């Protein structure tokens, strides 16, 4: 996952699925083209799931373009390949760009796929390209744990 040699692609059917959202309450602002959800918020689209304390859904021309999830922490999971484990992530803020199929994880960001993981203050994850960029603020390092490849006998 965390190497340039493996390109990941989200399950193609995920992007074609409807987005389902549930929350304790919702505030719709049609002029600003956004909806604010609060309290036990959950978004599902195919195998993708994001959970948070608060979520802002922004749309243009009646299509969702960005979902901003905040929590302590907010959580993301999605099956990228049919026969692989889910990608798991959490951060204080998760921004999901629906059309680009990209995640920005901000604040205590953590991303895990098939036992390999990366931690930093900010992680940008391009789901389609399988590209990950991570940074930290201050003197702390980005931390990675990579699992060795399984050997064929």
From first to last of its 153 residues, what are the pLDDT tens digits of the chain?
333 323 334 566 777 888 899 999 999 999 999 999 999 999 998 898 999 999 999 999 988 899 999 999 999 999 888 888 899 999 999 999 988 889 999 999 999 988 889 999 999 999 888 899 999 987 788 998 988 876 666
| Of residues 108, 147, 99, 105, the one with CA closest to residue 125 | 105
Q: How would you class 7 by CB atoms within 10 Å of its CB: exposed for 0-12, middle for 13-18, buried for 19 or more? A: exposed
33 within a domain of the structure (yes/no)? yes
Total tally of structural domains belonging to the chain? 1
Q: What is the pLDDT of residues 71-96, one digit of tens each?
A: 999 999 998 888 888 999 999 999 99
Q: Is 22 part of a structural domain of the chain? A: yes
Question: Is there a contact between 60 and 33 (Cβ–Cβ < 8 Å)?
Answer: yes
Question: Can you say whether residue 87 is alpha, beta or left, with left for phi > 0 and alpha for psi between -120 and 50 degrees?
Answer: beta
Q: What is the CATH number of the domain that holds 123?
A: 2.60.450.10
2 is a domain residue: no
Evaluate whether residue 153 is within a structural domain. Answer: no
Query: Token digits for 15?
Result: 């992007």
Q: Rounding to the nearest 10 degrees, give the CA dihedral for residues 132, 136, 139, 144.
A: -40
Please list the residues that pair with 117 across neighbouring strands: 112, 145
Q: Which domain holds residue 138?
A: 12-145
The pTM score is 0.84
Q: Is residue 151 part of a domain?
A: no
Residue 65 lies in a domain: yes
Which whole-number Å values give the CA distances from 111 to 70, 119, 142, in the listed order? 16, 7, 12
Average model confidence (pLDDT) for the chain? 87
């Amino acid at each position: 996952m965390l190497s340039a040699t493996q390109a990941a692609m989200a399950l193609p059917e995920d992007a074609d699925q409807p987005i389902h959202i549930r929350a304790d309450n919702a505030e719709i602002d049609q002029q600003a083209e956004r909806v604010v959800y609060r309290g036990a918020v959950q978004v599902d689209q195919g195998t993708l799931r994001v959970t948070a304390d608060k979520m802002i859904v922004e749309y243009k021309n009646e299509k969702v373009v960005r979902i901003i999830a905040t929590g302590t922490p907010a959580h993301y999971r999605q099956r990228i390949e049919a026969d692989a484990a889910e990608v798991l992530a959490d951060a204080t803020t998760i921004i999901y760009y629906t059309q680009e199929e990209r995640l920005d994880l901000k604040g205590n960001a953590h991303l895990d796929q098939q036992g390999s993981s990366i931690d930093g203050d900010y992680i940008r994850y391009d789901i389609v390209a399988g590209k990950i960029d991570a940074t930290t603020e201050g003197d702390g390092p980005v931390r990675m744990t990579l699992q060795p490849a399984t050997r064929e006998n």
